[in-house]
Structure 1
Amino acid sequence: MEWNHDHIVHINGQTECPSDPSAERHKWRKKIEPWLSAVFQAEHLSLLVGNGLTTALAQLAGASPVAMTTATFGCSNEGKVLEAATKNAASMGRGAANIEDQLSAALSLLNGLRVLDHADASAWEAAIDRVLKGFVTEVLATEKGIEAGWDKGSELRAREALISFLMSFASRAASRERLHIFTTNYDRVMERGADLSGLRIVDRFVGAMEPEFRSSRLRVDLHYTPPGIRGEPRHLEGVVHLTKLHGSLEWRYDHPRLYKEALPFGADPSHPGVPAMLRNTMMIYPNAAKDLETAAYPYADLFRDFSASLCQPNSVLVTYGYGFGDDHINRVIADMLTIPSTHLVAIAWGDKPHDRIASFLSKAGRSQQVTLLLGRHFGDLAELVHHYLPKPAIDTLTLRMTELKDRRGDDRSTESSAPPEASNGDGG
């Protein structure tokens, strides 16, 4: 596959590279939307979103997205930490290191200093807490900006874009397997979007005041009993499963409990729900960056959910805003593709040469099981929800209308057999 193009469309085993798809929206809609509609009807459908979705919403809402740039710790051996972070990022094909790579390396160094009972350990503890505080402040500021700008804009508002995006995947027949949403983001955009869309979320947390994390393997679901009918519960529509693979802003660890703190969307950093010491309590830093750490609680359960949802026959995974820069996630996706009936749909905003997705596919192969929509046009959230993502609710009505027209016969014969209009004159 040739990657040296800004826009790449790979559908049904055929690749096209349009130079200006915005000039041929109707043509590409006729090709892409029906294909996605068919793919989304798979028995098992999962959605993996990364930071690209939050960035796209922030731009629509006029907010500042999280930069994810490296930070300054101001401690000894900081150069070594940055060097280790850069090597780690390069090994995963991400290029330059970001703040997650830095924090992972800094936490590894801190553990070593503690083993040695080194005097620098306390300085690194304070520095890591300070960097985490700044990072959390930036994520909360992005949430606040999105919340304030839900209804900004004249063409497509952030609220409408998020609801339309989610409902394109979540509007499945209740008899089908539930949509399972996975995200690597620490923010609560998916939860807020579910609230705005009227979706009910099922996750591993149980409780009302301080929901606690449970490791149960039970597939919890929601049902209802129709009026006048007993003993025949039916699946409730608008239910999704949500798994946050890298933790969340409101997750707190208080040994041995992992629970959710009542932290409002876009809260001020001084809110009581934001702890003073983030390092040992807030479950957001990239503990899942290494296989050894992935085996630790609660990430083992989260990644088991990920692999169990993907690695089964007739499974489809759609990615949006995910850069294929996490080996531990890429490996599960590659394992999924070894099952012939599975399919991967990768939608990404970016420019040539699309090196991360190219690197992943060169290792995983299976191009016949992959759909690609790459480039600034196809990856643009507004273009995506307006022109290319299917609308299941409309599809159902369209099918009914077509069936009704078929039963009535050709439109022209219907018109010719219609009775003549009554005369407005007095008559002869």
Structure 2
Amino acid sequence: MAVRTACEESQAGSFDATVKSLVGTVPGEDPEGGPKAGNIERLLSLCKMRLELLSVMKETLKNAPGAAPQLGPEEVATAAEMERLSDFVELAEETILGKVGFVNATTELSAHADLLAKFGRRSPEKPRVRIFTTNYDLCVEEAALRLNAVLIDGFSHSARQRYNRDNFDHDIVRRRVGTARADFVDGVFQLYKLHGSVDWRRSGDEVFRSLEMDRSRGEPVLIYPRSTKYQEAFDAPYLDMFAALQAALREPDTMLIISGFGFADDHISSPIWSALQSNLSLNLILCDVCFVPEDLLEAGQHEIPNDMTKRNLHQKRILQLALHSDRRVTVLNGRFDDLVAAIPQLEGMTDRQRLEALLAKVNEAATE
């Protein structure tokens, strides 16, 4: 819907005309009489394929034996369609980029903050908790900022933050004055953004962090929703992120917690399923709204919409593992907020966490 609105506001051509030229029909109307939202991933995929086909047609016409020096009617029509589709794709991508840049200092992020706070109590002597996300937004970053948590995300801690995969090997320690002793700092996480981020930009071979929207200073680094996501995942820096995910899935005694992921991306779903097949010590908790049938619950207990027909192949496989008593697999019916609420609090707190909790209470009391 946002792309449709952007087309109307920018007068960049009819959204419905573009859809009809690619799909043959428009989505139609919703129950309230408004335009029905379509599948933007499918639409952008069709745009990409059509542009590639038109590019081949253009070269064929240009190099055909006896081709005239001036463009013929067919060549003019091909060039015009390529320009129209290119403008549409650029507008759609700019709209998507704008929509995912919604996070600011006032955004409600209680679930994200609670998740980081709970796992932040994990002993810093143990391997750092790794967060993998396909979201472009800055929810995790903003929540970490509010908690004074540290994210190791591949970017340098310099004025101009540049990406280098070697930065994932870094950690944060506290070195006390007058001693050689160094203690690992608590509340440190590794963050891997598998499809890029709203604040990543590329200029040449350099990837850096910036919210500047001027494309002349750097192109956005995002894997947009379309069928070529699998191929794009093999480009840097995405390849580093996916390599880290696959390595984590192969490690012994690993707990993988999944929420908000519908297993529609095969380049992520397949490694997870492969790990379940081969890693006997991998444990999986999958939280989704599609796992508990209505008839298994008492009346009034089921407040989350449930559609059993929308499970895809990987969700069905994982559910079958749970139904056949695979103790490694747990499926929960719920949203991200429900999952965070269900995660128990770790009993232990570090000295710094106790101090920060005390200072928070002191500041709250002082402002009353």
Residues 234 and 363 of structure 1: is their aligned pair in 2 closer, same or farther, counting only changes over 3 Å?
Answer: same
Q: Which residue of the partner structure matches residue 134 of structure 1?
A: 95
Identify the residue that residue 352 of structure 1 maps to in structure 2: 306
Structure 1 residues 3-152: aligned runs within 5 Å:
74=14, 78-79=19-20, 81-82=22-23, 98-117=39-58, 118-119=78-79, 120-140=81-101, 142-144=102-104, 147-148=105-106, 150=107
Distance 1:168 1:360, change over 3 A: same
Alpha-carbon distance, 1:257 to partner? 1.7
Q: Amino acid of the residue matched to residue 351 of structure 1?
A: P
Q: What is the one-letter code of the residue matched to 1:131? A: A
Question: What amino acid maps onto 2:243 in structure 1?
Answer: R
Deviation of the 1:240 alpha carbon? 0.4
Q: Does 1:370 find its partner at 2:329?
A: yes
Which residue of the partner structure matches residue 174 of structure 1? 124
Any idea what SS the aligned residue of 2:93 has?
helix
Q: Which amino acid aligns with 1:389?
A: I
1:250 maps to 2:250: no
Deviation at 1:396, TM superposition (A): 2.3
Number of aligned residue pairs: give it.
292
Is it true that 1:396 corresponds to 2:360 in the alignment?
Answer: no
Contact preservation (8 Å) 2:198, 2:220? yes
2:348 counterpart letter in structure 1: T
Query: Could you tell me how far 1:162 is from its partner in structure 2?
Result: 2.9
CA positional deviation for 1:228: 4.3
- The corresponding residue for 1:413 is none
Answer yes or no: is the 8 Å Cα contact 2:41–2:226 preserved in 1. no
Amino acid at match of 1:313: P
| CA drift at 1:317 | 0.9
Q: What is the rounded CA distance, in whole Å, between the counterparts of 1:124 and 1:351 in structure 2? A: 37
Could you state the TM-score of these two structures normalised by the residue count of structure 2? 0.69
Q: Which runs of 5+ in 1 are unaligned?
A: 1-65, 87-95, 151-157, 264-272, 398-428
When residues 327 and 196 of structure 1 are mapped into structure 2, their CA distance, relative to the original with a 3 A threshold, is same
Contact 1:210–1:259 (CA<8 Å) still a contact in 2?
Answer: yes
Alignment of 1:403-414 (within 5 A): none
Query: Is 1:342 paired with 2:282?
Result: yes
Query: Residue in 1 aligned with 2:254?
Result: 315
Aligned partners of 1:360 and 1:68: how far apart in 2? Answer: 30
C-alpha contact 2:6 2:91 (8 A) present in aligned 1? no
Counterparts in 2 of 1:306 and 1:71: CA distance versus 1, 3 Å: farther
Cross-structure match for 2:335:
379
- Per the alignment, residue 298 of structure 2 pairs with none
Partner of 2:175: 225
Distance 1:211 1:287 in 2: 29
For the 8 Å contact 2:155–2:167, the answer to whether it is kept is no
Which is worse superposed, 241-250 or 165-174? Answer: 165-174
1:302 to 214, 219, 241: 241
The Cα shift of 1:189 comes to 0.8
- Native 8 Å contact 1:249 1:283 kept in 2: yes
Provide the secondary structure at the position in 2 that maps to 1:130: helix
Give the distance between the partners of 1:300 and 1:316, measured in 2 at CA.
Answer: 22
* Alpha carbons 1:325, 1:356 under 8 Å: kept: no
Q: Secondary structure at the match of 1:295?
A: coil
Q: Which residue of 2 aligns with 1:283?
A: 221
Q: Please state whether the residue corresponding to 2:219 is helix, strand or coil.
A: coil
Whole-angstrom CA distance in 1 between matches of 2:4 and 2:228: 17
Shift in Å at residue 113 of structure 1? Answer: 2.8
- What root-mean-square deviation, in Å, do the aligned CA atoms of Structure 1 and Structure 2 show? 3.3
Q: Which runs of 5+ in 2 are unaligned?
A: 8-12, 28-36, 59-77, 290-303, 350-368
Residue 169 and residue 304 in structure 1: after superposition, are their counterparts in 2 closer, same or farther (change >3 A)? same
The answer as to whether partners of 2:154 and 2:167 remain within 8 angstroms in 1 is no
What is the TM-score of this pair, normalised by structure 1? 0.60
Which residue matches 1:27?
none
